[in-house]
C-alpha cells in the first residue's frame, strides 16, 4: 500500500507553480524524509496530501487510494503543521478535549499519560508552554488520534537541540509501538539522517530523488581519482556531481547496483546520505527516481577550498 | 514511552460515521464562549437599563390613563402636567432621546458582526490554526457548518428576546415622544426584525473573515457593511415597505384624545388641539381634503386648525368637503415585520452559504 501517491500533481499560486509534474509513491511502513531547500515545494506537497490545498493539476491519494482530504483520508492522517499551530488561549487539557471532540478516534488515556510523562502542566495555556512543549503537545494530540500516517511539516524548526532529540524520540517510539508511517519535511538534513529510511528530495517544485535510503546509498558511489581524468570518466559513467580538488576529483556516480570495475588509479567509496543529498541539491538537473533511471550526465564542477 | 492502549484498525473506511454534532457543539462552545459571554453582558446590560426605565414609565403612564389626561405636554403646572413630567423623568435620559436610543440599539448588530463574527475565521487564518482544525477527522465542512448554525441559533434566540424587550420598552416611551413602532428606526428593533438583522450581521462578519482572512480588515469591512445595510434599511426599505398599499378612508377631525391604555391612539397631531383620526396602533401616511367630486383641495396639515374639531367637521361638511386619510392598519404590522425579517434571514442564509463555499474551496 502506498501511503501517499501522486500523479502529475501540480499546484499553482497565482502565476507561479509551487509544485509541478510531481509523480510519487511512498510505500507504507517508512519514516520518509521530505528534504529540500526553503521554497522548494515541501509544504505545498504536504498540504496537498493532507487535503488543506486542492491540486491545480494531477491527483493525490493517501492511505492506499483514498482521495486526499476525503473523510476517510482525514480520519487516518494526523498532521502537525509548521510552527505547530495550537489554540494559544486553550489549556493543554482543553486542547486534548477539543481534539477528542473533533475526531472519531481518540485515546485520552494515552494523551494524558504522555502529558504527565513530558511534564506538561494540564492547566497551562498552550501559548504559555515552551516551544518544545508546544511541539510535544501537538505531537501528542496527533498520536492520540492513532493515525496510520503521521505527517510533520518542519516539526523541529523552532526547537533547540535537546527538544529536537526528545521530539524525534517520541516520533520513533510511536513508529516502534504502533507501526505508524511517518512523512516529515525538513530543510535540515542532519536531524533526519538517523531516523529516515525513505528519502524524497524536492527542489524547485519537482521531485528530484525518491527511494529507500538503503537502496539509494547502495546504488551510488563516490569515485576518487586524479583530477585530470575526471572529465574522461564523466562521459562514461552516470556522474551526478563532480567535486574537484587541487589534485583529486570526487565523482558521485550512480551505479544502479551494478558495481562496474573501478578504473585504475581510482578508488570507490560508499556514499553518506548527507553527501548524496548535497550532491543532488547542487545539481538540480540530476534525478534519481524509481523506474527508468533518469540521471543525467553532468559536468558542472565545484572547486573545493 | 507510553504505549498506545488501543490497536489500529486499518482498512475500516467503509461507512465511516461522521463526528457527532453534539461534539461539534462542545468545540463551538469552548472556542466561542468568551464572545458569547461578551454578547450576553452587552445585551443584559442594556436589558437592565431598559427594564428599569420601562417599568417606571409603565407605572407613570398608568397614572396618566387613570387621570384621563389629554395628550399634550408642556403644561407642567396642572396635575396632568405634573404626571407627564413624572412620566418623562421615569425613563430619563432615555425617554427624552428615543431616537438616539434606537440608533444606539441598532448598533448592536454592527458590534456583534465586528467582534463575534469577523474574527471567527479571520483569526484562525491569521494564527494558522485552521491547519490544525481542518485536518481533524471531523472535516472543515462540518466544522464551519456547526459554528455557523450553533452561533447563529444562539444569537437569533438572544436577539429575538432582546428585540421583544426593546419593543415593549418603546411602547412605554412612544406616547410621550410622539413616536411609533412603525417608524424606520423602531421598525427594525422588534423580536422579528432585530433578530433577523443580528443574524445577517453575524453571517456578514463570518463571510468577511473567510474572504479577507485578516482580523482587523475583516472587522472594518463588516462594520462598514452592516452599518450601511442598517442605514439603507432605515432610509429606503422601511419607508418603501410601510407605504405599500395603504388603506384609504374618509375620516373626521377629533378633539385631542386622552391617554389610553395600550397603543397610543393618535397619529397626526395638528397644531395644538386637533388630530386626524386613524385607528389606534395604525400608521398614517398622509391626509388631505377633497372636494365633492373627489378633487384634492389641499393636504393637511397646511390648514390652520385653530377651531375646535366639532366646528371644523361641520364647516367641512357644509362646504361638501371630505377629509381623507391613507394609513396602514395595525393588523399589517406583523405582516411587514415578517417581510423585513425574511429579507434579513435570506441575506444571512446566502452569506452563510457563501462562507461554507469559500471554506470548502479555499486552502488553509
CB A288 within 8 A of CB A254: yes
B132 to A86: CB separation less than 8 angstroms, yes or no:
yes
> B353: which residues sit within 8 A by CB, 6+ positions away?
none
- CA end-to-end distance (rounded Å), chain B: 33
Using CB atoms, pick whichever of B17, B27, B134 lies closest to residue A101. Answer: B27
Query: A64 CA to chain B: closest CA distance, Å?
Result: 9
Query: A63 CA to chain B: closest CA distance, Å?
Result: 9
Q: Which of A62, A64, A78, A31 is nearest to A173 (CA)?
A: A31
Cα A214 from Cα A171, distance rounded (Å): 21
Query: B27 CA to chain A: closest CA distance, Å?
Result: 6
| Residues of chain B found within 8 Å of residue A98, distances taken between Cβ atoms | 27, 30-31
DSSP state of B330: G
Q: Hey, of B33, B130, B136, B362, which one would you mutate to test binding to chain A, going by the most A CBs within 10 A of its CB?
A: B136
| Residues of chain B found within 8 Å of residue A47, distances taken between Cβ atoms | 363-364
> Which residue from B minimizes the CA distance to A90?
B31
A104 to B16: CB separation less than 8 angstroms, yes or no:
yes
Burial tier of A159 (Cβ tally within 10 Å: 0-12, 13-18, 19+):
buried
B363 to A54: CB separation less than 8 angstroms, yes or no:
yes
Angstrom distances, CA of residue B273 to CA of B22, B258, B270, B358: 63, 11, 7, 61
CB A255 within 8 A of CB A288: no
Cα B56 from Cα B65, distance rounded (Å): 14
**Helices assigned H by DSSP within chain B:** 21-66, 79-90, 98-112, 118-127, 130-133, 140-177, 184-187, 193-212, 215-232, 238-242, 309-318, 333-361
The complex's ipTM works out to: 0.87
What is this structure's pTM?
0.86
A102 to B137: CB separation less than 8 angstroms, yes or no:
yes
- Three-state SS for B151-175 is HHHHHHHHHHHHHHHHHHHHHHHHH
Number of H helices, E strands in chain A: 10, 15
CA quadruple A71, A76, A77, A78: dihedral sign: positive
Query: A3 CA to chain B: closest CA distance, Å?
Result: 12
Dihedral, CA of residue B230, residue B236, residue B237 and residue B241, to nearest 10: 150
B128 to A83: CB separation less than 8 angstroms, yes or no:
yes
Angstrom distances, CA of residue B21 to CA of A36, B25, B351: 41, 6, 22
CB A219 within 8 A of CB A257: yes
pLDDT tens track, chain B, 364 positions: 444 444 444 444 456 788 888 999 999 999 999 999 999 999 999 999 999 988 988 888 888 888 777 765 555 567 777 887 788 788 777 766 788 888 899 999 999 999 999 999 999 999 999 999 999 999 999 999 999 999 999 999 999 999 999 999 988 887 777 777 888 888 889 999 999 999 999 999 999 999 999 999 999 999 999 999 999 988 888 788 878 888 887 777 666 556 666 554 444 444 444 456 566 677 877 777 777 777 776 655 433 344 566 777 777 777 777 777 788 888 888 999 999 999 999 999 999 999 999 999 876 5
B132 to A81: CB separation less than 8 angstroms, yes or no:
yes
CB B201 within 8 A of CB B347: no
| Residues of chain B found within 8 Å of residue A91, distances taken between Cβ atoms | none
A90 to B129: CB separation less than 8 angstroms, yes or no:
no
Amino acid at each position: 500500500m502506498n501511503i501517499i501517491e501522486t500523479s502529475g500533481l501540480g499546484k499553482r499560486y497565482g502565476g507561479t507553480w509551487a509544485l509541478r509534474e510531481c509523480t510519487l509513491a511512498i510505500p507504507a511502513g517508512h519514516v520518509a524524509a521530505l528534504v529540500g531547500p526553503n521554497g522548494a515545494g515541501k509544504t505545498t506537497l504536504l498540504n496537498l496530501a493532507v487535503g488543506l490545498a486542492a491540486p491545480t493539476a494531477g491527483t493525490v491519494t493517501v492511505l492506499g487510494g483514498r482521495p486526499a482530504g476525503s473523510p476517510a483520508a482525514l480520519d487516518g492522517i494526523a498532521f502537525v503543521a509548521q510552527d505547530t499551530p495550537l489554540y494559544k488561549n486553550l489549556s493543554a487539557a482543553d486542547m486534548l478535549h477539543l481534539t477528542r471532540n473533533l475526531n472519531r478516534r481518540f485515546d485520552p488515556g494515552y494523551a494524558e499519560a504522555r502529558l504527565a510523562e513530558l511534564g506538561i502542566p494540564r492547566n497551562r495555556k498552550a501559548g504559555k508552554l515552551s516551544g518544545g512543549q508546544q511541539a510535544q503537545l501537538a505531537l501528542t494530540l496527533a498520536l492520540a488520534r492513532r493515525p496510520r500516517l503521521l505527517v510533520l511539516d518542519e516539526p523541529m524548526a523552532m526547537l533547540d537541540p535537546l527538544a529536537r532529540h526528545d521530539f524525534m524520540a517520541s516520533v520513533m517510539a510511536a513508529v516502534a509501538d504502533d507501526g505508524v508511517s511517518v512523512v516529515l519535511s525538513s530543510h535540515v538534513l542532519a536531524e533526519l539522517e538517523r531516523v529516515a529510511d525513505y528519502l524524497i528530495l524536492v527542489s524547485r517544485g519537482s521531485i528530484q530523488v525518491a527511494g529507500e535510503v538503503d537502496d539509494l546509498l547502495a546504488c551510488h558511489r563516490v569515485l576518487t581519482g586524479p583530477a585530470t581524468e575526471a572529465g574522461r570518466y564523466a562521459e562514461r559513467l552516470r556522474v551526478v556531481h563532480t567535486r574537484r580538488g587541487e589534485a583529486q576529483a570526487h565523482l558521485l556516480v550512480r551505479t544502479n547496483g551494478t558495481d562496474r570495475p573501478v578504473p585504475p588509479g581510482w578508488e570507490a567509496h560508499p556514499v553518506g546520505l548527507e553527501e548524496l543529498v548535497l550532491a543532488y541539491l547542487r545539481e538540480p538537473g540530476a534525478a534519481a527516481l524509481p523506474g527508468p533511471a533518469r540521471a543525467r550526465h553532468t559536468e558542472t564542477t565545484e572547486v573545493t577550498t | 514511552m507510553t504505549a498506545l492502549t488501543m490497536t489500529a484498525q486499518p482498512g475500516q473506511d467503509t461507512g465511516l460515521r461522521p463526528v457527532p454534532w453534539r461534539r461539534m457543539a462542545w468545540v463551538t462552545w469552548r472556542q466561542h464562549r468568551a464572545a458569547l459571554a461578551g454578547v450576553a453582558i452587552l445585551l443584559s446590560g442594556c436589558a437592565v437599563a431598559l427594564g428599569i426605565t420601562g417599568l417606571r414609565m409603565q407605572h407613570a403612564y398608568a397614572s396618566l390613563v387613570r387621570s384621563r389626561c389629554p395628550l399634550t405636554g408642556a403644561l407642567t403646572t396642572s396635575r396632568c402636567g405634573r404626571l407627564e413630567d413624572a412620566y418623562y423623568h421615569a425613563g430619563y435620559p432615555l425617554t427624552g432621546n428615543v431616537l438616539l436610543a434606537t440608533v444606539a440599539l441598532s448598533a448592536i448588530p454592527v458590534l456583534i458582526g465586528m467582534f463575534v463574527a469577523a474574527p471567527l475565521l479571520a483569526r484562525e487564518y491569521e494564527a494558522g490554526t485552521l491547519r490544525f482544525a481542518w485536518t481533524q477527522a471531523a472535516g472543515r465542512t462540518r466544522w464551519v457548518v456547526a459554528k455557523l448554525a450553533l452561533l447563529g441559533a444562539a444569537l437569533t434566540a438572544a436577539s429575538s428576546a432582546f428585540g421583544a424587550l426593546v419593543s415593549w420598552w418603546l411602547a412605554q416611551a412612544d406616547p410621550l415622544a410622539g413616536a411609533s413602532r412603525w417608524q424606520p428606526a423602531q421598525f427594525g428593533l422588534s423580536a422579528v426584525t432585530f433578530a433577523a438583522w443580528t443574524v445577517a450581521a453575524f453571517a456578514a462578519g463570518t463571510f468577511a473573515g473567510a474572504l479577507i482572512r485578516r482580523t482587523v480588515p475583516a472587522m472594518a469591512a463588516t462594520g462598514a457593511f452592516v452599518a450601511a445595510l442598517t442605514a439603507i434599511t432605515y432610509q429606503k426599505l422601511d419607508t418603501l415597505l410601510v407605504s405599500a398599499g395603504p388603506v384609504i378612508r374618509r375620516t373626521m377631525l377629533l378633539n385631542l384624545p386622552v391617554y389610553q391604555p395600550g397603543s397610543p391612539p393618535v397619529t397626526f397631531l395638528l397644531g395644538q388641539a386637533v388630530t386626524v383620526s386613524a385607528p389606534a396602533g395604525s400608521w398614517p401616511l398622509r391626509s388631505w381634503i377633497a372636494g365633492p367630486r373627489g378633487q384634492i383641495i389641499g393636504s393637511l396639515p397646511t390648514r390652520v386648525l385653530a377651531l375646535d374639531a366639532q366646528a371644523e367637521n361641520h364647516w367641512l361638511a357644509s362646504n361638501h368637503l371630505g377629509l381623507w386619510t391613507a394609513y396602514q392598519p395595525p393588523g399589517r404590522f406583523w405582516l411587514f415585520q415578517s417581510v423585513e425579517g425574511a429579507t434579513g434571514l435570506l441575506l444571512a442564509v446566502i452569506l452563510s452559504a457563501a462562507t461554507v463555499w469559500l471554506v470548502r474551496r479555499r486552502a488553509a
